Amino acid sequence: MAKQATAGRRYLRFFVSGFFVAVPVTVTFLDRWAYVARVEGASMQPFLNPEGVLEGDVVLLNRWSVRNYEVQRGDIVSVMSPRNPQQKIIKRVIGLEGDFIRTLGYKKRYVRVPDGHLWIEGDHHGHSMDSNTFGPVSLGLLHGRASHIIWPPRRWQRIQADLPPNRGPLYTDEDQD
> Would you state the torsion angle of the CA atoms of residues 22, 26, 28, 33, taken in this order, to the nearest 10 degrees?
140
Asked whether residue 8 falls in the same domain as residue 87, the answer is no
Whether the per-residue pLDDT at 157 is higher than 70: the answer is yes
Please report which confidence band the pLDDT of residue 18 belongs to, taking 50, 70 and 90 as the band edges. Answer: low
- pTM here? 0.80
Asked whether residue 5 falls in the same domain as residue 57, the answer is no
| Higher pLDDT pick, 110 / 1 | 110
Asked whether residue 93 falls in the same domain as residue 148, the answer is yes
So what's the pLDDT on residue 64? 83
Whether the per-residue pLDDT at 27 is higher than 80: the answer is no
Asked whether residue 80 falls in the same domain as residue 23, the answer is no
Asked whether residue 153 falls in the same domain as residue 168, the answer is yes
The upper half-sphere exposure of residue 56, i.e. CA atoms within 13 Å in the direction of its Cβ, equals 13
Among 24-33, 46-55, 108-117, name the most confident range: 108-117
Q: What percent of the chain has pLDDT over 70?
A: 80
* Active-site residue (options: 3, 17, 43, 128): 43
Domain of residue 26, residue span: 1-32
For range 95-122, the mean pLDDT: 95
Asked whether residue 19 falls in the same domain as residue 102, the answer is no
Asked whether residue 66 falls in the same domain as residue 138, the answer is yes
* Active-site residue (options: 91, 128, 131, 147): 91
Asked whether residue 90 falls in the same domain as residue 114, the answer is yes
Whether the per-residue pLDDT at 17 is higher than 90: the answer is no
Mark whether 43 is an active-site residue: yes
How many structural domains does the chain have? 2
What whole-number distance in Å separates Cα of residue 61 and Cα of residue 119?
A: 19
Of 149, 23, 157, 135, residue with least CA distance to 79? 135
Asked whether residue 4 falls in the same domain as residue 81, the answer is no
Asked whether residue 53 falls in the same domain as residue 117, the answer is yes
Burial state string for 10-45 with b = 16 or more CB within 10 A and e = fewer than 16: eeeeeeeeeeeeeeeeeeeeeeeebbebebebbbbb
Asked whether residue 23 falls in the same domain as residue 41, the answer is no
Please report which confidence band the pLDDT of residue 119 belongs to, taking 50, 70 and 90 as the band edges. Answer: very high
So what's the pLDDT on residue 34? 77
| Higher pLDDT pick, 16 / 38 | 38
Asked whether residue 43 falls in the same domain as residue 5, the answer is no
